[in-house]
Each structure stands twice: as C-alpha cells, then as structure tokens.
Amino acid sequence: MASVFTRLLLATEHSEFDTGALALALALARRGALPLAGVLPIVSNPEFEMVAPQLAAKADAEASIKRQDLEARARQEGVALDLHARHGPEAYVEIVEEARERSADLIVIRRRGKRGLLANLLIGEMVSKVVAHAPCSVLIAPRGAQLWAKGVRVGIDPQNPESPLVARAAALAEEFGLPLSLVCVASTESARPQAEQALSVALARARAWHRATVGEVRVGRPHEGLIATSPAHPADLIVVGRHSHTTLGHAWIGGTAQKVIGLADCPVLVHVNNPEAKADAT
C-alpha cells in the first residue's frame, strides 16, 4: 500500500528538543523507503551579518557541524537525507518556505524548544507559527516520540462529521495496519445526542476506508476527551485539524488543537487540507 505521506520534510535545529522529531522522520522515511528532506533554520539577517560578522561565521560553523551529525545519523539509518541550511530573521518563515519549495506533504517538527520567558506555552512559539502557516500537514513530536504502533485516534467535530480529517486518519490507520478510534466530545450531557449523531456519520465514512474503526462519545472538554487514554482502544497517534483561510496571514490553530498538541504524550498530526497536495480519499 502506498504511503499517505511521500514528501517528508524534517525541520530541526538539532538540539536536545529535536530528538523525537528526528527519530520519527527517520522512521517514516525508512519504513516507506522514502528520501528525507531537511531544513536547518539559522536566525540571521544582512544587518546582523554586517555588524557582527564573527558571530555570523560562528553560527555557520555550528550549523555545519549539526549538518554533518544529522547526515551521519541518517546514513546509519539507511535514509537519504537532503538537508538545506536557510538564513532568515524568523525560523518559521524559512521552514514554511522550504516546505513550499520542496512541495512537502508532511513537516516533522519538535513540540517545544528552550525554556525561558515563554516556557508556559503549550507549544513553542516558532513551532506554533509553523503549524499555523504550513502549506501541508505537520507532525509534532515530543522529545521521546516513537513511531506509532498501538492505534490512531481522531477527534470528530459535532458540527462537521464529514471533515476530510476522518479520511486522513483512516488512511493512516489502514497504512499502518492499526485500529482507528473516533472520539466525539459533547460539552454537556444535553449535547450528547448531537455528538452521537455526528459520530454515527463519521463512523460510516471511516469504515468505508478502514474496517477496524470504533467510535466513542465523551462528555467534557474537547482536548481532555481526545487525550484521555482508553485501555480498550489505545492510541499513540492523535490526528487533529487546523483552522485555515485562503490567505497565509489568516491561518490559525484552534484552541483545542493547541491543547492537544501541548499536552499529549504521543505525536500529534495536524492535518492541513492542501488542494495542491495528493488528494484525500473520497
């Protein structure tokens, strides 16, 4: 069966926070016998390079060492890594542009970076901007992330049970031979009937692509319902959607998705419905 994602892009600064993303990207490339593109963003600008050329040279030297380390790790894993270093004032812009230029259909990136003034953010600021503006789906990896092997879980919006998100989650579960669990969270008990109806519609769609699909209605906060473990239906990949508009500047991540990304123990895939990418199952 063909891979759901075939044009992978690893976005990394090769720090201790990037280990999970690197492991996931290499595992996906190796499993699908796919080449792996990479981008190493270097925060810089012409003014900085003119005023402090020695610091710019140091940054380039450090980037060169990181590049060699990453390429050596990829060779050990039997993966062909084509890594580009990109200079720019904002790392997220370079990552997004690299994804666009490479026609990537999946960006693999860490969840958070250095702790500091923004340490309480659920997602690192740079990562949040990548997720908001990416032209393709984004896989966010905690530091200890591993390739999923238990199951795939996707949240069902009671207002939009026929979302393309269901098709993407079903395709991933089918590719990996894993069970798929659909979770529809009702805010209150009085909203349960609507959630049950939405789940019924989503289940019918999902089972057309992947027979090993189950569903469950939970009551409470949406992000807690999605993250909560289920001994009967374990999952180590969660799939969520991104709110997006026609212009890059108006793309944004919904609050539920942000909380799921920031609090989940497993990788989270943010599905971006990109009309230029390979079409979803219909």
- Do 164 and 263 lie in one domain? The reply is yes
Q: Is residue 3 part of a domain?
A: no
Q: Determine, yes or no, domain membership for 276.
A: no
Whether residue 275 has pLDDT greater than 50: no
Domain count, the chain: 2
- If asked whether residues 176 and 262 sit together in one domain, one would say yes
54 and 170 share one domain: no
Task: Mark which of 92, 108, 141 sits at the end of a domain.
Answer: 141
**Model pLDDT, residue 120:** 46
Tell me the C-alpha distance between 179 and 37, whole Å. 29
For residue 209, being part of any structural domain is answered with: yes
- Tell me which residue of 73, 70, 99 sits closest to 86, measured CA to CA: 99
- pLDDT for the residue 242: 81
- Give backbone dihedrals phi and psi of 69, rounded to 5 degrees, phi first: -65, -45
Domain residue limits at 127 = 8-141
Average pLDDT over residues 145-150: 95
Average pLDDT over residues 98-108: 97
Q: Identify whether residues 157 and 136 lie together within a single domain.
A: no
Query: What is the percent of the chain with per-residue pLDDT over 90, rounded to a whole number?
Result: 66
**Cβ 169 vs Cβ 137: under 8 Å:** no
How far is it, in rounded angstroms, from Cα 218 to Cα 187?
9
Instruction: Write the pLDDT tens digit of every residue in 3-53.
Output: 899 999 999 999 999 999 999 999 999 999 999 999 999 988 777 667 777
* pTM of the entire predicted model: 0.89
Identify whether residues 90 and 112 lie together within a single domain: yes
Domain boundary among 106, 141, 176: 141
The answer to the question of residue 191 being in a domain is yes
Q: Given a cut of 80, is residue 117 above it in pLDDT? A: no
Whether residue 43 contacts residue 15, with contact meaning beta carbons closer than 8 Å, is answered with no
Which range, of 113-117, 157-161, 220-224, averages the lowest pLDDT? 113-117
Tokens 């009551």 label which residue? 219
Last residue of a domain, one of 89, 121, 141: 141
Residues 129, 187 share a domain:
no
In a domain, 28, yes or no: yes
Mark whether 123 and 38 lie in a shared domain: yes
The pLDDT value recorded for residue 115 is 47
Helix axes 91-102, 125-133, angle to 10 degrees: 30
Is there a single domain that holds both residue 176 and residue 267? yes
Looking at the predicted structure, is the pLDDT value of residue 252 above 50? no
- Give the chain's mean pLDDT: 87
- Does some domain include residue 146? no
- Alpha-carbon gap, residue 17 to 225, rounded angstroms: 27
Q: Could you tell me the CATH number of the domain that includes residue 166? A: 3.40.50.620
